[in-house]
Amino acid sequence: MKYSVTMSSFKEIFEPLTDALPVLKRLNYDAVEFIGEDQSSRDLNNFTEILVAHDLKVSGVTGMWGNVSSKAGTRRLLSLDGSMVENAKRYVTRCIELCGQLGGQQFNVCLFADPGTTMLDFSHRVLSQRQKLKLVEKSIPLLRSLANYAKDYGVLLLLEPLNRYATPYCCTAADALRICNTVDQPSFGILLDTFHMNIEEDSFSRAIELAGVLLFHMHFADNNRKMPGSAHLDFTSVLKALHNIKYQRYISFEPNLERRSYYNSLKEGIAYIKGIDSTISTG
């Protein structure tokens, strides 16, 4: 396995964000997942220089979708407003280019629609497969053309299912697989995130095995979005399933970190996962 951390986890901790890089190198991370926001070419050059100096790689670029910022909220691939879809499309193409430029392997899309599209109490209800399909159907040709665009940059475009409280149109590995099979492009695949899986999947292992060869990236966080080992997710079954499908790509930690405890969290979290991984590898 190779280990990476999302740079977005450091937004509240480091200014500039590049100050996170020496820390990550010291803690034996292999790579960082760059943040999918506009950067000046000066900042980007600076980032690349510091990255190279610390012998770190870029695993990919994290798509900033939904409520993470007001800008992110306008990136709606499922909008009924054509200009909103166009806005999301431009965002994806820019991030693909950024990812290619940084030598990253993947960029993730999440499917958001206009607010008020569905008015369900998601604590008790979910959308039916038919309702999901109806809303997602229109975006298939766009996803296909974006996947093709990504291919030209040596980047994979990955669909990340989120939990129902974030966006209810693609929540499980089965939802993502259905969309993937319809898009049907070798440069289009799946990213699974243990935080969302914990809410939506019947089982970690069944979801991972279902995604199978289309699983190209993993986000790891515990059930409370802290580093793995902080709470009660069963990372042994996650890692066993990854071994079963011969997954050898990045495990990218995507935790909430706090200024006072980030160092120990990052240190203990990777040690916890590497510990489980080595028992599986030798057992």
- Using CB under 5 A, list all residues that contact Mn ion: 193, 219, 254
Q: Give 77-88 as a 3 state SS string.
A: CCCCCHHHHHHH
Q: How far is the CB of 219 from Mn ion (least distance, A)?
A: 4
Whole-angstrom distance, CA of residue 56 vs CA of residue 273: 20
Q: What angle do CA 13, 262, 105 make, to 5 degrees?
A: 80
Whole-number minimum distance, CB 199 to Mn ion, in Å? 12
Q: Which is nearer to Mn ion, 98 or 124 (CB)?
A: 98
Rounded to the nearest whole angstrom, what is the least distance from the CB of residue 160 to Mn ion in the complex?
A: 6
CB 171 to Mn ion: min, Å = 13
DSSP 238-257: HHHHHHHTT--SEEEE----
Give the shortest CB-45-to-Mn ion separation in angstroms.
27
Identify which of residues 132 and 217 has a Cβ nearer to Mn ion in the complex. 217
Q: Which is nearer to Mn ion, 94 or 225 (CB)?
A: 225
Rounded CA-CA distance 57/30 in Å is 6
Residue (51 or 192) nearer to Mn ion, CB:
192
207 and 192 Cβ atoms separated by less than 8 Å? yes
Rank residues 83 and 199 by Cβ distance to Mn ion and give the closer one. 199
CA 201, CA 189: separation in Å to the nearest integer?
A: 18
